[in-house]
Chains A and B, each alone.
Chain A
Amino acid sequence: ILNVEQSPQSLHVQEGDSTNFTCSFPSSNFYALHWYRWETAKSPEALFVMTLNGDEKKKGRISATLNTKEGYSYLYIKGSQPEDSATYLCAFIGIKAAGNKLTFGGGTRVLVKP
């Protein structure tokens, strides 16, 4: 059983502040890591696909880094806005994963207060 963990489970952020949270995954047999953003009552939406150690990806005010050797990824939100409120999921793909299936973490629920 693959262990993909996200911390913290939830966090409250004041509008305008920056924040970050973590996804940890098995460092062996790494193939890819996905980040998804999931707003309530909507479909999860892919943010990033990360494949190489040291990868840094950016989309607007959201960015992510990847360390495959130590098995973690950070997601950063700069200058948080209320519309950033969502659950952020990371999902790990191992090199031996049949069908490249995703193993999800439990998510970090972000609430941005105006």
Chain B
Amino acid sequence: GAVVSQHPSWVICKSGTSVKIECRSLDFQATTMFWYRQFPKQSLMLMATSNEGSKATYEQGVEKDKFLINHASLTLSTLTVTSAHPEDSSFYICSARGLAGGVGIGNIQYFGAGTRLSVL
């Protein structure tokens, strides 16, 4: 099956530093990648959608200058949390979709295992 690798799995950083999270599709080309955030006891909330070679589309309320997304190739997307603060501490998870959407299995998203970010 399709595998998505996400690194790091957890990171602790000091307030004010930037943190980069990588999401790689290992055995398929991901035309679209998604970044989610999950607060404790809440559902996965979509932050942004990125398509290879174009700018990411951010959901309402998500600061694009705070959460920089780069999808430079069909197998790699990165999320950079810039000037992280304690309120950015959360669980971040990416997913990738290989086909161009449509109904049925073409819409399945393949997930990484997530990154736990703690900002001190």
B69-107 near A? 1/0 per residue, CB < 8 Å = 000000000000000000000000101000001111101
Which chain A residues lie closer than 8 Å to B110 at the CB level? 43, 46
For the residues of B in contact with A, the DSSP-based class is mixed
Q: Find chain A residues with CB under 8 A from B101 CB.
A: 99-100
- Interface residue ranges, B against A (CB under 8 Å): 4, 32, 34, 36, 41-46, 49, 57, 93, 95, 101-105, 107-114
Binding site for B on A (CB under 8 A): 4, 31-32, 34, 36, 41-46, 49, 51, 89, 93, 98-107
What are 29 A-B contacts defined by CB distance under 8 Å?
A: A32-B103, A32-B104, A32-B107, A34-B108, A41-B113, A42-B113, A43-B4, A43-B110, A43-B113, A44-B93, A44-B111, A89-B44, A98-B57, A99-B32, A99-B49, A99-B57, A100-B101, A101-B34, A101-B46, A101-B49, A102-B34, A102-B46, A102-B109, A104-B44, A104-B45, A105-B43, A106-B41, A106-B42, A107-B43
